[in-house]
Structure 1
Amino acid sequence: MNLGPLEIGLIILAVLLLFGYKKLPDASRSLGRSMRIFKGEMKGMKDDDVRGKEEATTVRGQLAPPAAASPTAGAPDYEAEALAAEARAAEARAAEARARADAARSGVTPADGTR
């Protein structure tokens, strides 16, 4: 699908008519912030995946028991601990995203200096 100069001009004109020239900078700034937050969350998810795989192979500096081995009575449940850690990390990421969104709405820069 090739867009020629006429089609691009019509799209720009329609956007200007719909939003007005005064609101376009705010809309683009908001879109940029949203993309930055989304990009940061995706990076965080990738980092959590890497950490989760590392935790699955080593727990507290010791090798985790193989999956085929039967758990013994009184042994720690590594899988439950990993799931709980993942849940806590997800809650922390969600709280951080809410704080950043609140800060963006109020126009206040977060304490860590990120935007």
Structure 2
Amino acid sequence: MGQIGVWQAVIIVGIIVLLFGAKKLPEVARSLGKSARILKSEAAAMKNEGAKDDASQAGTAEQTAAPRTIQAAPGDVASARPVEEPKRTAQG
């Protein structure tokens, strides 16, 4: 019950082909690849943003930066949209 054997894998692949059809499988694989690339780029952007935030807290408080945008995929400028930054208020 722990591992999947060769015959079980063949049966699973056969069921997937029957469910989606042979014509749809390349399209499904492309969309999965695109989703994986988007997830990878967003994770890298979040990691870089965290490093920038740490560096900016150590640097000057006031900086003028270009508005940030969210992109659907690396290099995809057609679906980019501006991101509204939350306003930081001083509480005292």
TM-score for both structures, normalised by structure 2: 0.69
> Where does 1:1-115 land on structure 2 (aligned, <5 Å)?
1-59=2-60, 78=61, 89=68, 92-93=69-70, 96-97=71-72, 100=73, 110=76
Q: In 1, Cα distance between the equivalents of 2:76 and 2:43?
A: 20
Deviation string, structure 1 residues 38-60 (Cα, Å, up to 9, x no partner): 1000000000000000001111x
Q: In 1, Cα distance between the equivalents of 2:22 and 2:53?
A: 47
Q: Which residue of structure 2 aligns with residue 67 of structure 1?
A: none
User: Could you tell me which amino acid in structure 1 is paired with residue 40 of structure 2?
Assistant: K
Give the deviation of 1:110 after TM superposition: 3.7
Q: Which runs of 5+ in 1 are unaligned?
A: 60-77, 101-108
Q: In 1, Cα distance between the equivalents of 2:31 and 2:39?
A: 12
TM-score for both structures, normalised by structure 1: 0.56
Q: CA RMSD in A?
A: 2.5
Query: Which structure has more RCO (C-alpha within 8 Å, separation ≥ 6)?
Result: 1
